[in-house]
Amino acid sequence: MPPRKLLVFLFLFLLFFFFQSSAQNVSFDFPSFTLRNFTLLGDSYLRNGVLGLTRELGVPSSSAGTVIYNNPIRFYDPETNSTASFSTKFSFAITNVNPGSSGDGLSFFLSPENRTLGSPGGYLGLVNSSQLTQNKFVAIEFDTRMDLHFEDPNDNHVGLDIESLNSIKTVDAMSRGIDLKSGNSITAWIDYKNDQEKLKIFLSYSNTKPNKPILSVDIGLSKYLKENMYVGFSASTEGSTELHLIENWSFRTYGFSTLRSRLHPHNVSDNTVTLTPMIPEKNSSSNHNKRLGLGLGIAGPVFFFVALVVFGYVSTRRLKSIRTQKSFKQEILTGPREFTYRELKLATKGFHPSRIIGHGAFGTVYKAFFDSSGTIAAVKRSRHSHEGKTEFLAELSIIACLRHKNLVQLQGWCVEKGELLLVYDFMPNGSLDKMLYQESGKGALLSWSHRHNIAVGLASVLTYLHQECEQQVIHRDIKTGNVLLDANFNPRLGDFGLAKLMDHDKSPVSTLTAGTMGYLAPEYLQYGKATEKTDVFSYGVVILEVACGRRPIEREAGTQKMVNLVDWVWGLHSEGKVIEAADKRLIGEFREEEMRKLLLVGLSCANPDSTERPSMRRVLQILNNEAEPVAVPRLKPSLTFSCSLPLTLDEIVSDDDYDDDHEECKPSSSHLCDIKVLTV
């Protein structure tokens, strides 16, 4: 081959090799964590860059949580029949405010599913207590409780688990000088070499990797590592205050290369294959060709690196010249994808009225069918002026990073043609208000177990928004219409943040018109300022609706008198008959103590005095039987209105303000007055 042709060939060869190997091998490093890259399930949370897997409580509780890296990782290449090796390093700490309260430990796992969440207790958050073999996984357990059911050797061991919590091999960590429950930061290294079929685990209190592994297992994982797998951590407790923290994490796969696989059909590791191609000797000029090939083998990557640096520099300069709005799009909204207006228009049949599935204060929601992927989504269409668009994009970036099983997940967005379009997961059972108030005979009545699960799920997601996010999120518009139900009737909170985003330039007077009468806390009516306590008030009204099957404000049958749900339930409570507020359509098919607790929690959250309302974390603990209920006074603290008009509830909610079609009451902007709380 002439030298010039050989030069071109080797250059293209190096480019091909570089892209092939880099496309298949994965590497990431997180010295600290952000919500952008992870899905948090169960009780897991993020605080100050550290991942917590189980609840941080001062009292013993049962808890399970999972954190999963968002992107699937390629472990198997079906074309070359090769499986990747991998190595990972992470630091963790297992602490306990009550050392006598023993928890269950944590695990690092690989799973084909990105929704792996097991039961609390001795299941390490990996498997369900009722279906121990349902979840598929490869896991390294750091177990801090001896469970004879799973043949644990002691309460301080490391083990390899494959699709079962009965470990294939374990080792006593204390025998190697490691106390998993010491509360100290422990660094773990896990190395798997597929060519050697060997898995090694190292542990140290320092950041220096020991020479000898704490556990070495001769095992081939090829048949368990699917083409795409998810990696993450899980943990659980059972009646314990044990807390599981992940402080940093790095991970990489290696061993994939299309070139290697074609030259060597067997599955081999990096250090057994040379990367320089073999060129057959044909004549006396072959030595020259060899030298040229070797030189290009060295110069090629250097040239490519220089090209990347130049390309990066030019790209950076270009990005800085883009307008602020586009900068937000490029730099902040990296999670959800950007849809084009055309594909959303096609998916909704041109936003046809037959595709409308709901209306909100800030837009209309359409059902969208994406023919290319065969998926269904919900598209929210909001007309939006240019003012405040920068603030919108900045705050939307926060919303896009939120991850919780009880949040409607944002899939993507589009800002074109003067419109704002948001794409969410589609919820097949619609909104909670439609399920609660559907006409008899037009659908199944929500059972008590579903209602109780809805109350707990909403408490969990509001705890996450208020206390477990890096930046606190106040929803501002919690109502049954914004609570959606998935296929299993699990609650998903939607429309979070949009009310606040759309009202940046509005006064408290116009802010009132965005809320829904009956859900608005008194101090919000007075000052127009939303806090986590105003969210708590709205939550209290919602769970009273769930328990009673009545709207926040209804006209009394046969009259024009308006009845406030909170007042009505509190009246029954003052008479010692609060259980009579239960939805009559349930015909007594509920647990009376659970119903009583839910009604009283609703009243405590809807207390006119914001200082007396519990936090959402406390509400969640009460509903999970982990804390005592808040005492609810027999008489509701009363309200007095100080204004020039002698207003009553009927006057505030005039006929014009009551929307019979949507059955929502909204405050009239002409009826504004100060509200004072008088505690009795």
- Catalytic positions, written as ranges: 477
Provide the token pair at 576: 């010692």
Burial of 304 (0-12, 13-18, 19+ CB in 10 A): middle
How far, in Å, CA of 491 to CA of 314, rounded?
47
Which whole-number Å values give the CA distances from 53 to 34, 118, 156, 358, 493, in the listed order? 14, 12, 19, 36, 22
Of 423, 424, 451, 414, the residue nearest 435 (C-alpha): 451
380 in a known ligand binding site: yes
Work out the number of other CB atoms within 10 angstroms of the CB of residue 440.
Answer: 7
Of 116, 148, 361, 356, the residue nearest 230 (C-alpha): 116
Tell me if 199 sits within 8 A of 86, measured CB to CB.
no
How far, in Å, CA of 128 to CA of 110, rounded?
17
Q: Which amino acid would we find at residue 534?
A: T
Tell me if 258 sits within 8 A of 243, measured CB to CB.
no
Tell me if 36 sits within 8 A of 398, measured CB to CB.
no
Q: How many residues does the chain have?
A: 680
Tell me if 448 sits within 8 A of 496, measured CB to CB.
no
Q: Which amino acid would we find at residue 146?
A: M
CA angle 144, 147, 152 (to 5 degrees): 75
How far, in Å, CA of 39 to CA of 456, rounded?
20
Q: Which amino acid would we find at residue 378?
A: A
User: What are the residues whose beta carbons fall under 8 Å from the beta carbon of 555, sequence distance 6 or more?
Assistant: 561, 562, 563
How far, in Å, CA of 140 to CA of 322, rounded?
46
Q: What is the dihedral of CA 341, 343, 346, 352, to 10 degrees?
A: -40
CA angle 135, 137, 142 (to 5 degrees): 110
Q: Is 346 left (phi over 0), alpha (psi -120 to 50) or beta?
A: alpha
Q: Assign 238 to helix, strand or coil.
A: strand
- Block residue for tokens 């043609």: 417
Q: Please, what is the angle between helix 565-574 and helix 532-548, to 10°? A: 70
Provide the token pair at 2: 């002439």
Q: Assign 103 to helix, strand or coil.
A: coil
How far, in Å, CA of 425 to CA of 411, rounded?
7
Which whole-number Å values give the CA distances from 354 to 344, 357, 621, in the listed order? 15, 8, 43
Of 554, 562, 503, the residue nearest 530 (C-alpha): 503
Tell me if 261 sits within 8 A of 99, measured CB to CB.
no
Give 142's strand partners: 106, 158
Of 469, 475, 350, the residue nearest 408 (C-alpha): 475
How far, in Å, CA of 616 to CA of 621, rounded?
9
Which whole-number Å values give the CA distances from 322 to 326, 331, 453, in the listed order? 6, 11, 47
Tell me if 480 sits within 8 A of 451, measured CB to CB.
no
Tell me if 126 sits within 8 A of 134, measured CB to CB.
no
Binding positions: 380
Binding positions for ATP: 380
